[in-house]
Amino acid sequence: MTEDSAFDRPDDVPPVSAERLVDGHLAPVDEAGVSADPAAAEPRRYPSTIGGAFYLLVLAASTVGMVIVVFGSWRTGVRWIGAALVFGSLVRLVLPSLDAGMLAVRSRWLDALMVSGVGAALFFLAATIPNQPGS
């Protein structure tokens, strides 16, 4: 162990760029270090998991909610955001962790509990906050 490092690098594990990993395995490369897979040269334009697509759907519904808050009824907009979060938590419960994409942060039940709790709190607040005088 060296004095400037708390941990020594194992000798049998070579350093590898994360860009060369495909599904946990090294992608084949040619002599120049370029991926041998021609499809890898093109940037991906779609989510890699079904959870990524649902994440984009939740994000789009939340954006619709924010637009409604800005230009229309704030209660309706907050309900849209709450509904998007509850939908996202239900999707998180249904999908396996490997397919959940950006919806997966911690364990399945903790993710679903926290996100559905925030969604339910938004519904509750939109229903219970009284109208302000003059509005």
Which domain range does residue 69 map to?
50-128
In-domain check, residue 84: yes
pLDDT in the model for residue 111:
92
Find how far residue 24's CA is from the centre of its chain. Answer: 20
In-domain check, residue 105: yes
Q: Based on the structure, what is the number of domains in the chain?
A: 1
pLDDT tens for the chain, residues 1 to 135:
555 566 666 665 556 655 555 555 666 666 655 555 555 555 666 667 788 899 999 999 999 999 999 998 999 999 999 999 999 999 999 988 888 888 888 889 999 999 999 999 999 999 999 887 765
Whether this prediction's pTM lies above 0.85 is answered by no
In-domain check, residue 35: no
**How far is it, in rounded angstroms, from Cα 64 to Cα 3?**
55
**How far is it, in rounded angstroms, from Cα 5 to Cα 93?**
41
In-domain check, residue 41: no
Structure tokens at 34: 């370029």
Q: What are phi and psi of 25, to 5 degrees?
A: -120, 155
- Helix axis angle, 108-128 to 74-94, nearest 10°: 160
In-domain check, residue 9: no
pLDDT in the model for residue 131:
84
pLDDT in the model for residue 13:
56
DSSP readout, 12-28? TS----GGGEETTEEPP
In-domain check, residue 71: yes
Beta bridge partners of residue 29, listed in sequence order: 35
In-domain check, residue 89: yes
In-domain check, residue 30: no
**How far is it, in rounded angstroms, from Cα 25 to Cα 46?**
21
